[in-house]
Amino acid sequence: MAKGMVGKTVTSLGDYLKEQRVQSKLTLRQLSEKAGVSNPYLSQIERGLRKPSADVLQQIAKALRISAEQLYVQAGILSPEDGVGGSVELAILNDSGLTERQKQSLLDVYSSFLALNRGDEDEQAEES
């Protein structure tokens, strides 16, 4: 993923989180307490300065009473085209036996395989 793309994703995630928090009529401090995430860290996420882990997103989603998958899509972890439920990405993200680093590594490998396969499909289509 390109560096500029990551920044854009994080900013839109922050805007989305702030919108959800305001709609839930929660202050930053209240959401921080409900999610178990520090107030300054949550503020940095909303301002697009930090990219939270899947576990932190899950805590925030639970506190906001929205699906974690929505936040994963906003954060760029899941692709909206993949759909929700039963996806490989969700299985990886929900596996409590993996560390955050292991989860990210698996997601990176998986997405590279998908990109490689798309390239093979494009190549075969050109040959036909």
Taking CA atoms, 20 is separated from 31, 34, 64, in Å, by 10, 14, 7
Token pair in block for residue 55: 């576990």
Alpha-carbon gap, residue 127 to 101, rounded angstroms:
39
Percent of the chain at pLDDT exceeding 70: 79
Would you place residue 82 in the very low, low, confident or very high pLDDT band (cuts 50, 70, 90)?
A: low
Return the number of other C-beta atoms located less than 10 Å from residue 13's C-beta. 24
Q: What is the pLDDT of residues 30-44, one digit of tens each?
A: 999 999 999 999 999
Assess whether pLDDT exceeds 70 at residue 85: no
Percent of the chain at pLDDT exceeding 90: 30
Fold of 3-127: 434 Repressor (Amino-terminal Domain) (1.10.260)
Helix, strand, or coil here: 51?
coil
Total-model pTM: 0.62
DSSP readout, 19-33?
Answer: HHHHHTT--HHHHHH
What is residue 17's predicted lDDT score, i.e. its pLDDT?
Answer: 92
Burial of 54 (C-beta count, 10 Å sphere; 0-12/13-18/19+): buried
What is residue 6's predicted lDDT score, i.e. its pLDDT?
Answer: 43
Mean pLDDT in residue range 88-116: 83
If one compares 59 and 127, the residue with the highest pLDDT of the two is 59
Alpha-carbon gap, residue 118 to 17, rounded angstroms:
32
Token pair in block for residue 107: 């997601």
Burial of 85 (C-beta count, 10 Å sphere; 0-12/13-18/19+): exposed
Arithmetic mean of pLDDT over the chain: 81
